[in-house]
Amino acid sequence: MSINLDSMSHKELETLLNDVKTAIKSAYERDRVEARKAAEKAAAEFGFSLDEVSSGAKKPKGAKAAAKYANPADKSQTWTGKGRQPNWYRELTAKGVSPDDLAI
């Protein structure tokens, strides 16, 4: 299929572009459906559903690390030891309090 783009007007080119975008979306969806069918078939060969196989590969969302440090003045203020240090932790360690003393 050969299209002479140089001979087309800008309106014709825009129409062609929109048609191509629509065709790409349609092809993507067809490929996605076929991929899912192939994955379901492969999982079934091992006696699993696709949901059973894929659920083991995902990390649970919202899973938080356990707190390692707590503010002695307010035990509800905790820190995992990862990321930015909370103000209370930074202030206490600057005053000479050992991180071991703040450990839970």
- Tell me: do 50 and 74 sit in the same domain: no
Structural domain for 26, as ranges: 7-55
Q: What is the per-residue pLDDT for 56?
A: 63
Q: How many domains does the chain have?
A: 2
- Please give the model's pTM, rounded to 2 decimal places: 0.46
Contact indicator for 85, 97 with CB cutoff of 8 Å: no
CA gap 65, 1 in Å, rounded: 57
What is the per-residue pLDDT across 53-84, written as a single tens digit (0 to 9) for each?
887 655 666 777 899 999 999 999 999 999 99
H or E element that contains 78: strand 74-79
Query: Does 64 fall in a domain?
Result: no
Q: How far is CA 79 from CA 18, 74, 99, in A?
A: 52, 12, 11
